[in-house]
Amino acid sequence: MRAPALIALVLLAMVAPACKSRKHVAVDPSEVGDIPREFAIQKLRELLPTAEYVYCTLPKDSLKPSEIKAWNVRSEMIQIDLGKPKPLELYYADITQVRLELAGKYYTARVHTTVQPDPEKDHFQFLWRQEGPAKSVVELLLSLKKK
């Protein structure tokens, strides 16, 4: 009687992590090439406001598009204005790594920076249901990281 219950628990334990697994999506660094800085900034101005969710780990915040008052994509940084005294800021010079992952039904652009004390933890996440905008943002941020 205990054996079927034990087998069911073991199967459940094996299947549960698969439901939340993240799959790395390759982004070819050679595709980044020499994207002109002005073009990259303009494309980020267009693409970032289309993100379905934004997560920041330092300071900790999770945002829906309706909670963001303004996106300010500038030559040295991205500011996310939440209507609070201090906006969230992502300086391109602080970026150490940018990855694209598929988690469930969302493509996630994960941005690691020197500001986040834990190098294994990302600083920002930008999520889309489609791969195209997420991949473009990863490529654009990688191009700005180099410059």
Domains of the chain are 22-146 (2.30.29)
pLDDT in tens, 12-69: 444 444 455 778 787 876 666 688 999 999 999 999 999 999 999 999 999 999 999 9
Tell me the average pLDDT of the chain: 86
Residue 115 near residue 58, CB atoms below 8 Å: yes
Q: pLDDT tens digits for 82-106?
A: 998 999 999 999 999 999 999 999 9
Report the chain's C-alpha Rg in angstroms.
18
- Provide the pLDDT for residue 110: 97
pLDDT of 27? 81
- Residue linked to tokens 């030559």: 75
Cα separation of 13 and 34, whole Å? 46
Contact call for residues 45 and 71 (beta carbons, < 8 A): yes
Residue 120 in this model has a pLDDT that exceeds 60: yes
Report the run of H or E that residue 95 belongs to, with start and end: strand 95-103
| Residues 6+ positions from 18 with CB-CB distance below 8 Å | none
